[in-house]
Structure 1
Amino acid sequence: MNNIEKTTLSAEIEINAPIEKVWALWSTPEDIMQWNTPDATWHTPHAENNLRPGGQFLFAMALKDGSLNFDFTGTYDEVIANRLIAYTLNDGRKSTIHFTAGNPVKLVEIFEADDNQPAAMQQQFCQAVLDGFKRYVEEKP
């Protein structure tokens, strides 16, 4: 029996926008390509997103200088519009994103860490992406 505990990390933001706008910008590939970066040295040149249970996603992420790139890919396990997204990455790690409507909207992402990367780095990367999403939503008319 395997009793290895997975390291779970989380990141959260509060966004001053209606939940419908937050949800739409989180899930539309054209928008994902605009906000899905931790900082200005990264970009997401391609995104596919089939936001439904059993649907798959692919976000191609890369450093703009070409020195590093990876595909963030997985399958959605549960989707409740404006409330919850749960998915499994292709490497088997699980993630859940909770959206709490209100003024502001609260978004909390809880995810299993990759044992091959420092946990603090992964948490900071995720938080930076969420911070960028907040800026994108709040600045977009």
Structure 2
Amino acid sequence: MSTDRTSAADGFSYALTRTLNAPVARVWQAWTTPEQYTRWAHAVPGSVEMDARPGGAWKATMLTPDGAAFPLTGSYVEVAEPGHLVLGMDVPGRADQVTMSLDLTAQGPDRTEIVLRQTCDTAEERDMAEQGSGMLLDGLEGHLAEGTRA
């Protein structure tokens, strides 16, 4: 996995890149299907709802490693199946959504490069978001590996 970080006048951003052992269509389904997302994203079963189309809503209650639950809500800003998503995330006390982009690129028939990008207001927010995104990618990678075992 590689990580790029920047600190600029317009925010603090990161990009996480990882190559997954699964075709693009399978990675897309894992990211946009509530049942699959629940399995790998540390979400409370039954809490995930997804309307994966521009303007569609999503929500999930996530579990932290220490067992705390916190609800997340947002919308799909851009959806270009099977390779590009921009998710808006609602942040309490903030008028506009924070966005995270996801790009999937085929690396042959059974491998996918995934790149997650986000820009935050502070270095601390970036560090927390980057850590959470890394955990998501770890869970996704584990979920996809389970599917390849016979």
TM-score range, shorter chain: 0.7 to 0.9
Instruction: Determine which of 94, 98, 102 is the counterpart of 1:93.
Output: 98
Contact kept, 8 Å, 1:13 with 1:131, in 2: the verdict is no
* Equivalent in the alignment of 1:111: 118
* Equivalent in the alignment of 2:22: 17
User: 2:14 aligns to what SS in structure 1?
Assistant: strand
Instruction: Determine which of 108, 128, 132 is the counterpart of 1:121.
Output: 128
The alignment's C-alpha RMSD in Å is 2.3
What does the per-residue CA deviation read over 1:111-131, in whole Å, with 9 as the maximum and x for residues that have no partner? 123649553233122112112
Task: Please identify, of 57-66 and 88-97, the stretch whose mean Cα deviation from structure 2 is larger.
Answer: 57-66
What does the per-residue CA deviation read over 1:29-48, in whole Å, with 9 as the maximum and x for residues that have no partner? 011111003xxxxx433211
What does the per-residue CA deviation read over 1:87-109, in whole Å, with 9 as the maximum and x for residues that have no partner? 22113211111011223201111
Q: Which has the higher contact order (CA 8 A, sep 6+)?
A: 1
Number of aligned residue pairs: give it.
133
* Equivalent in the alignment of 1:40: none
Q: Percent identity?
A: 27
CA distance in 1, matches of 2:66, 2:125: 23
User: 2:82 aligns to what SS in structure 1?
Assistant: coil
CA distance in 2, matches of 1:71, 1:114: 21
Check 1:116–1:47 CA distance in 2 against 1; reply closer, same or farther (3 A cut): farther
TM-score norm. by structure 2 comes to 0.77
* Equivalent in the alignment of 2:146: 139
Contact kept, 8 Å, 1:11 with 1:108, in 2: the verdict is yes
Contact kept, 8 Å, 1:12 with 1:127, in 2: the verdict is no
CA distance in 1, matches of 2:29, 2:134: 20
CA distance in 2, matches of 1:64, 1:130: 15
TM-score norm. by structure 1 comes to 0.81
Structure 2: gaps spanning 5 or more residues: 1-8, 92-96
Contact kept, 8 Å, 2:31 with 2:37, in 1: the verdict is yes
What does the per-residue CA deviation read over 1:32-91, in whole Å, with 9 as the maximum and x for residues that have no partner? 111003xxxxx433211110000011011124765x321221111110001100122113
C-alpha displacement of 1:28: 0.7
Check 1:84–1:32 CA distance in 2 against 1; reply closer, same or farther (3 A cut): same
C-alpha displacement of 1:18: 1.4
1:17 partner amino acid: A
